[in-house]
Chain A
Amino acid sequence: MTAGASPPPANQPEFVPGAPPPAALTTDIWRGIARDNPVLVQLLGLCPAMAVTNTLANGLAMGTATMLVLLGSELFVSLLRKVIPHEVRITSYVLIIATFVTVVDLLLAATFPDISKALGPFMPLIVVNCMVLGRAEAFAAKVRPVRAMADAVGMGLGFTLALVLISGLRELLGMGSLLGANLLGPNFEPWVFMVMPPGGFLTLGIILLCMAWFTDIRRRRAQEAA
């Protein structure tokens, strides 16, 4: 990053080492969805991205739950960034994240018991999702709460989008349905493999392959144009 490279602009007197460069809120949101997508670009949070994406409903629920946890923990990490001593910051972040995970877990169990049951042990495991801790340490702890919230929305949407993509493909091919509604008719022989754990690796691998392919094409076009 640009830490220490140039004097900060006058309207931002406070300087935090390693802070992300100033950006518009829309840029902060959009970054998580596209350019720095947590799953498809940063390859973070792959455990839930493969473990619970056997049906679209599970993928949506896990994405939404993670986004709620991100919103709560990034907000509080940002609000408390001047209170938390440097030495115990990671411990404090984990405590904040764990609190929000437990709260979201209880709320989900009270409102959508079936989804809560399907997500089972993966819901509490959001605590150790390195994407959430990563955003707290790399972003929320160094910016104002508004930017932290924008980042949480973007990263949460990006995570949900990636999970919806993976789980939609897997449910469609593995069960012939989407959100439980049969789409491919009775003559479709389900690829049961796709809803089993190896199907998650295969789906994510193919999606990443397509992403790399598109990036490559775009880079070559840019080179030819130059």
Chain B
Amino acid sequence: MTAPHRHGGPAAAAPRASTPAWRLVATLAIAGAISGWLVSSVYQWTLPAIEQHAAEREKAAVYEVLGAPARWDTLYLVDDALTRIAPAKTGFARAPRAFVGFDADGERLGVAITGTEPGFQDNVTIMVGFNPETGALIGFRVLEQKETPGLGDKIENDTIFTGQFAGQVPPLRGVKSPAGGKTDEVQTITGATISSRAVVRIINNAIASWSPLLAAWDQGGAK
């Protein structure tokens, strides 16, 4: 602190000796280092719990988008091919996965895959379930989104929007006023056109990129 200024004039008028530049830089560097260390330790400490919650959410999502399967297999995408064997975890990245759901009689219900692409504000992650034979969608669920609360987040909460996907056949088109009866149209949400179109785009791209992989798996590895 500077010299005490006990009597007289307003505090703002008190002259203040300027701090040398190296002290300013040193203060911010040390403060940044300490706060970086604190944040990364808390991150490491909370990571297992956060990952467990994510796994539980994923389980619930698979159950929902495949229409309540009795059991499901997990396939991992390693080196451009699907495999049943989980790859060793390297760093933060996880291998993309597909979930193949079966009903109680062992009949295949469909495949659930995830796709992540930019929405209006940040990446949107969607899990979509579809039937590879007919190409029809079973359902979808938004796993991660940071869209505008009250507008963009309707892609998750608006049942009129989310309810129109089941049975539609991608590639889908997001339209403002659908003609009705078409299997490739979904109505976008008023005030959330970009978020709605992002959902359509993510579903289309995810299915387009996974379909050849799943077809190759059906021919080769599934036996």
Contact = CB atoms under 8 A, between A and B. Distances in A.
A15 B6 contact: yes
Interface in A5-31: 7-8, 14-18
Contacts of B24: 85, 87-88
Contacts of B7: 4, 7
22 contacts: A4-B10, A14-B1, A14-B4, A15-B4, A17-B5, A17-B11, A18-B11, A51-B149, A83-B27, A84-B27, A85-B27, A88-B24, A96-B35, A98-B35, A103-B42, A106-B39, A106-B46, A107-B46, A109-B53, A110-B49, A110-B50, A120-B149
Nearest to A92: B31
A101 to B, nearest CB: 10
B146 A120 contact: yes
Interface centre among A4, A52, A113 (most CB of B within 10 A): A4
A107 B38 CA distance: 13
Interface in A56-89: 82-88
Contact of B9 (A4, A7, A109): A4
B50 A17 contact: no
Interface string A83-124: 111111001100110110011001101110100000011100
Interface residues of B, number: 35
B155 to A, nearest CB: 13
A171 to B, nearest CB: 15
A208 to B, nearest CB: 22
Nearest to B146: A121
A103 B39 contact: yes
Contacts of A121: 121, 146, 149
A14 to B, nearest CB: 7
B23 interface: yes
Interface of A: 3-4, 7-8, 14-18, 51-52, 82-88, 91-92, 95-96, 98-99, 102-103, 106-107, 109-111, 113, 120-122, 196-197
B16 interface: yes
Contacts of B4: 14-15
Contacts of A4: 5-11
Interface centre among A8, A15, A82 (most CB of B within 10 A): A15
B28 A102 contact: no
Contacts of B57: 113
Interface string B1-30: 100111111111010101100011001100
Contacts of A92: 27-28, 31
Interface string B79-119: 00000000000000000000000000000000000000000
